Amino acid sequence: MIAPVREDRPASAHHPRGLTMARRAVAAALLKHSDESPPVSEPTSSYVAWLLIAWVMAITASYFAFWSWWTIDGY
């Protein structure tokens, strides 16, 4: 799979030339991604940040508040 954050992996150079276009098409059509910089200063990012913090706090609190719920007892 093609990683945007990985720099040391060369694109596979051992495939038949005809497959190169197909590989690019797979990456373009199915494995879309965006390369824009992470949102740090847009106004919406603060709402997202608050949502993230709320989610994290909810899970953390529920873990400690409902300890027995998280106990593994076989099934």
Partner 1 sequence: MPSFEAICDVLGSLAAAAAIGISAFGLGRPALRRLSLPHDGPLFVGVWSMALGLVIGGSLLLVLAAVGCVHSSVIVGLTLAACFWSLVEFTCIYLGATVGRIVDPLSAIEPSRAPSPRPRGTALVTLLAALVLLPSLVVALAPTTSPEALSASLELPKELLLDHGFSTSRLIGPAPPSLVQMWYLWALALNGPVAAALVHWGLGVLLALATVLLARDFLPSGYAWLAGCLVLLCPGVQHQLSLPLADLGLALFCALAMAAVGRIVVYLEVARWPVAAGVMLGAAVAAMPAGLAFAGALGIVFAWVAAAQRESRRELSQAARTLLLAFLVTAAPWLFFLGFSLNQPGPTQSVRSVVTHLGPLLLLALGMLPATRRLRGLSLLIGVSAVFFVLAPYSPWPGRWWSPLVPPAGIVAVWVWRETAERPRAVSGIISMAAAILALAVPVVRWTTAGGYLAVATGWQHRDDFLLAREPTYRAARMLNRIGHSSDRLLYQDSTGGCVASTFYFNCPTARQVGGGGFTYVLVAEAAESASGAATDRRLSTPDSSPPAGSNNEVGPFGEVIPILEYRFADDNNRPIRYRLLRLAKSRR
Chain contacts with partner 1 (rule: CB under 8 A) = 1-8, 12, 14-15, 19, 21-23, 25-27, 29-34, 36, 38, 40, 45, 48-49, 51-53, 55-57, 59-60, 62-64, 69-72, 74-75
* Radius of gyration of the chain, Cα coordinates, nearest whole angstrom: 21
Instruction: Report in angstroms how near the CB of residue 55 gets to partner 1 at its nearest.
Output: 5
Instruction: Report in angstroms how near the CB of residue 43 gets to partner 1 at its nearest.
Output: 13
Instruction: Report in angstroms how near the CB of residue 1 gets to partner 1 at its nearest.
Output: 3
Structural contact between residues 63 and 70, judged by C-beta atoms closer than 8 angstroms: yes
Q: How far is it, in rounded angstroms, from Cα 27 to Cα 23?
A: 6
**Residue 36 vs 43, nearer CB to partner 1:** 36
